[in-house]
Structure 1
Amino acid sequence: MLEQISLIPENLALPASLLRPLVSTALLILAIIIMRTLTARFIRRSVASSELRGRLLVNFRNGFLLLGVLGVALIWGDQIRSLALSIVAIAVAFVVATKELILCISGAILKSGAGSFNLGDRIQIKDFRGDVIDQTLLATTILEVGPGKTGHQRTGRMIVLPNALFVSEPVINESFTDHWDFHVFTVPFKREDDWQGAQKALLEAANRQCAPYLEAVRKYMKKVGVSRGLEVPSVDPRVTIQAPVASEIHLVVRLPAKSGQRSYIEQAILSEVFSNADFSKKKAGERTEDNGEDDA
């Protein structure tokens, strides 16, 4: 037992680098306590006004406290500097190790603060496109829609996107409004085909498909324009012409459609137009020959 007690001081021995700051700190605290006690006793004996006495006591107390803090900071300056460098190194290592998690949390805050999309919206980011079905602090889950960027069929695949993507990549939200959207699709033709007839047929089919709800769309878009301070776009179906290459003509059909029914109305228009006519060059030539034989 005596041997164990004799070993305690040796085990508790402090390194020389800490012994001097500890002694200096103890002396500083002792000096501040003595000075504060003497000053308080002098103020209580010398100052007659109770209000002034109380103010001086509080001011000197705070002054000695500040002096003590500054003295301790000067005494332990080297140790504090070493500790700060260690903390910075640990913080840098932590940030490097958890960079992706930090980016995911930042992306979640960014998309929530910006109101980029909500559950049920159809979004596209990079090559990923689908309907949002879940959002967490680290990831966003979508049901893939395709094929490609123009299809509207669900592929049956679920994609989990890390929220870090929303920090560096733009997000396309295809669900601008809650009830009605504008749907655009392209029908390509060769320049020698009867694309003029196809343009007319597509416009007529689009007008027939949209006629039952066109007035409701006008009222809704007007309401959206007033609430968001936007110019109300024309909701009437239209078919415009594009020539991406010299040998092709693309007919771009734009029409209003209810959210979730864009694929349905597109297929209805295409089926109606191409089941009743063939606008290829060969068929157009055959129709011309048939007309010549009938005239003969």
Structure 2
Amino acid sequence: MYLKLMITALVIILSFLLKQVIIRLLKSKASKTGVDHRHTLNTVRNIVNLLVVIAVFIVWSAELQKFAISIAAFVVAIVLVTKEIIQCFIGFIYMQSTAPFRIGDWIKIGDFTGEVSETDWAKVILLEVDINTYEYTGKSVFIPNNQFMTLPLKNLNFMRRYVNHTFSIVREANHINPFVLKQPLLDKALSYCHPFNDVAERYNALIENRLEVKISGPAPSVTITTTELGKVKVTFSVFCPTHEAFVIEQKLTNDMLQLWHDVSHANDTNTVAGKSA
């Protein structure tokens, strides 16, 4: 018994030291080459942990066999109690076999969106991303693996570099023909997207080739519609670098409100002049 305890402790200690050595080597290599080794690090951790479990199981196989026989009457109860754990392990096997995402990918699962930072047999850890601003919130989200078998999963990895950003602005009509604003706003959008237009075209083509579908972009668009309450709704769509999306949205919002104010003021001036005449 004492020998097996010593062997188990030795296996655990050696596995810990092995993980630390490999992690330091990979991190040192990553700092020199600039290559992201997080996926490799995560794989190494999972493999070493699995080997430790197998080794401990082999060492204690006789005791575990006796224990299993002694609790045969409680197998059903144990399965029911550990159902969630079993589902998480099956979910881990499912993800490893299908590879719907990798470490560093952006995904959306249920109501959560984030970057995959770590996976293991029980959970996936996400660095939460605000889908409206494409910024990290600083929060970590722990998703049990069984959720990936029951909830829809979206891989948003293409959005890490470029995104087809769509947003709308709603205003009261105020006797303004909003279509007089469409071309000036489109010109503004084109000017904001011009510095990265060539790269956006290549990236847009890359996404279309990989997905084998036609997506909107890279040219920006401005659409004018009305809401159910009869208000004017101006919708912008720009294909731009992810980190520039919110900045461009703010610029176009400012341009939209300024042009709306100028046209409204000009209409009020003309109305007053007409009455005076």
| Bin of the TM-score, shorter chain as denominator length | 0.5 to 0.7
Indicate the structure (1 or 2) with the bigger Cα radius of gyration: 1
Secondary structure (helix, strand or coil) at the match of 2:125 reads strand
CA distance in 2, matches of 1:269, 1:130: 27
Equivalent residue, structure 1, for 2:80: 96
User: How far does the alpha carbon of each residue in 1:133-152 deviate from its partner, in whole angstroms, 9 at most, with x for none?
Assistant: 33222222223333xx5343
Are 2:246 and 1:263 aligned?
Answer: yes
Secondary structure (helix, strand or coil) at the match of 2:157 reads coil
User: How far does the alpha carbon of each residue in 1:55-112 deviate from its partner, in whole angstroms, 9 at most, with x for none?
Assistant: xxxxxxxxxxxxxxxxxxxxxxxxxxxx99x84x544323212111222223333344
Equivalent in 130, 138, 143 of residue 156 of structure 1: 138
CA distance in 1, matches of 2:174, 2:155: 37
Question: Residues 144 and 226 (structure 1 numbering): CA distance in 2 closer, same or farther, change over 3 Å?
Answer: closer
Are 2:193 and 1:229 aligned?
Answer: no
| CA-CA distance at 1:249 after TM superposition | 3.4
Question: Residues 144 and 197 (structure 1 numbering): CA distance in 2 closer, same or farther, change over 3 Å?
Answer: farther
Q: How does 1:84-123 map to 2 (within 5 A)?
A: 87=72, 90-123=74-107
| CA-CA distance at 1:250 after TM superposition | 2.7
Equivalent residue, structure 1, for 2:116: 132
Structure 2 unmatched ranges of 5 or more: 1-67
Q: How does 1:172-251 map to 2 (within 5 A)?
A: 172-176=154-158, 179-192=161-174, 194=176, 195-231=178-214, 233-251=216-234
Contact 1:175 1:259 (C-alpha < 8 Å) held by counterparts: no
CA distance in 2, matches of 1:114, 1:251: 41
Contact 1:205 1:273 (C-alpha < 8 Å) held by counterparts: no
| CA-CA distance at 1:170 after TM superposition | 0.6
Equivalent residue, structure 1, for 2:266: 287
Equivalent residue, structure 2, for 1:77: none
CA distance in 2, matches of 1:115, 1:126: 18
Question: Residues 143 and 226 (structure 1 numbering): CA distance in 2 closer, same or farther, change over 3 Å?
Answer: closer
Secondary structure (helix, strand or coil) at the match of 1:142 reads strand
User: How far does the alpha carbon of each residue in 1:134-184 deviate from its partner, in whole angstroms, 9 at most, with x for none?
Assistant: 3222222223333xx534343332222222221111123333366433222
User: How far does the alpha carbon of each residue in 1:12-61 deviate from its partner, in whole angstroms, 9 at most, with x for none?
Assistant: xxxxxxxxxxxxxxxxxxxxxxxxxxxxxxxxxxxxxxxxxxxxxxxxxx
- AA matched with 2:93: I
Question: Residues 108 and 265 (structure 1 numbering): CA distance in 2 closer, same or farther, change over 3 Å?
Answer: farther
Contact 1:236 1:256 (C-alpha < 8 Å) held by counterparts: yes
CA distance in 1, matches of 2:103, 2:190: 31
Question: Residues 254 and 193 (structure 1 numbering): CA distance in 2 closer, same or farther, change over 3 Å?
Answer: farther
- TM-score by length of structure 1 reads 0.57
CA distance in 1, matches of 2:229, 2:121: 49
| CA-CA distance at 1:246 after TM superposition | 3.3
CA distance in 1, matches of 2:264, 2:128: 43
User: How far does the alpha carbon of each residue in 1:102-124 deviate from its partner, in whole angstroms, 9 at most, with x for none?
Assistant: 22223333344443333333332
> What is the identity percentage for the equivalent residue pairs of Structure 1 and Structure 2?
23
RMSD of the TM alignment (CA)?
Answer: 3.2
CA distance in 2, matches of 1:95, 1:119: 31
CA distance in 1, matches of 2:142, 2:81: 22
- AA matched with 1:134: E
Structure 1 unmatched ranges of 5 or more: 1-82
Question: Residues 233 and 288 (structure 1 numbering): CA distance in 2 closer, same or farther, change over 3 Å?
Answer: closer
Question: Residues 203 and 223 (structure 1 numbering): CA distance in 2 closer, same or farther, change over 3 Å?
Answer: same
* Paired residues, number: 206
